[in-house]
Amino acid sequence: MSEPIRVLVTGAAGQIAYSLLYSIGNGSVFGKDQPIVLVLLDITPMMGVLDGVLMELQDCALPLLKDVIATDKEEVAFKDLDVAVLVGSMPRREGMERKDLLKANVKIFKSQGAALDKYAKKSVKVIVVGNPANTNCLTASKSAPSIPKENFSCLTRLDHNRAKSQIALKLGVTADDVKNVIIWGNHSSTQYPDVNHAKVKLHGKEVGVYEALKDDSWLKGDFITTVQQRGAAVIKARKLSSAMSAAKAIADHIRDIWFGTPEGEFVSMGVISDGNSYGIPDDLLYSFPVVIKNKTWKFVEGLPINDFSREKMDITAKELAEEKETAFEFLSSA
């Protein structure tokens, strides 16, 4: 057995965490021979609920869980971390302006970034899930100057998985037969799900998705809006936001950071845009196609971008630049 790693999940009393914690504890994220010290952070009013989650984790009798710590204190939660999964954020309430939402979250992620900077290992991998995820991730990174900015990523894997599954459903194949879809930009309704470079396995051979589907108007229309608005559709149906699928996407995202991406495949994640070759301004936290090896991501380079894609990629970059500007006004005063 290896040395235990310390993994923090914030918003640990919430519904995404409730779907996620078992996957982390049973070895399906970090491997079946990796012991874990699991740290659960939530706000003080949630500590009663968190105690129930702690009891359930104990009752799962998971051999890899060396210890489970439930806390409402950042100095306890962020100590010596190997991985931080920042799920907790201020949810959007009815009648709330996006600006108010950004302001409330800047406060949270500034504080958590500072705690990472002060208490966590410098090699910590930080995955931000709480929305607005891209800007929250940038805020945390800016507040943790001693941790490399490449160590911060935000979740767009749920959108990536949604895109994959829409293509698979349309073609009557399994999601596993579809690879290299891309989510560009913000984890918001301006995101651009791009299948120009995606491949699908049909009758034993790989073909491009456009070629396989022969339905360009769907791919440029309903497909994109379905993926962009899927989160809202789930809320409308369940009266709750996506939890099972979000937890599955988080597990996929972290597993790929930990073990790398399969040969010939790339995945989408929100990362710092510095040095990209796709004309996206530096210093944005933007979702790109990446490959991962030795726990380090690299941009997938050299993909041809057509005019349709260019326009969509720029729209979502513009939204992120505006969000960043608003957040940073609050950041200096927070």
Q: For helices 98-119 and 133-142, give the axis angle rounded to 10 degrees.
A: 40
* 72 is annotated as contributing to ligand binding: no
Q: Are strands 199-202 and 178-179 parallel, antiparallel or unpaired?
A: antiparallel
Say how far apart CA 288 and CA 270 lie, in whole Å.
6
Q: CA nearest 198: which of 216, 179, 218?
A: 179
105 is annotated as contributing to ligand binding? yes
- Count H helices and E strands in the chain, helices first: 12, 14
SS3 (DSSP) at 125: strand
Task: State the virtual CA torsion across 315, 171, 198, 219 in degrees, nearest 10.
Answer: -20
| Alpha helices for 40-187 (secondary structure H) | 47-59, 74-77, 98-119, 133-142, 157-171
DSSP state for residue 309 in the 8-state scheme: H
Active centre residues (catalytic): 187
Residue 92 labelled as part of a binding site: yes
Give buried/exposed letters for 160-192 (b at 16+ CB in 10 A, else e).
Answer: bbbbbbbbbebbebeeebbbbbbbbbbbbebbb
Q: Is 130 annotated as a binding residue?
A: yes
The answer to whether the annotation marks 129 as part of a ligand binding site is: yes
Binding site per annotation, positions for NAD(+)? 42, 105, 129-131
- Binding residue positions for substrate: 92, 98, 131, 162
Binding site, by residue number, is: 42, 92, 98, 105, 129-131, 162
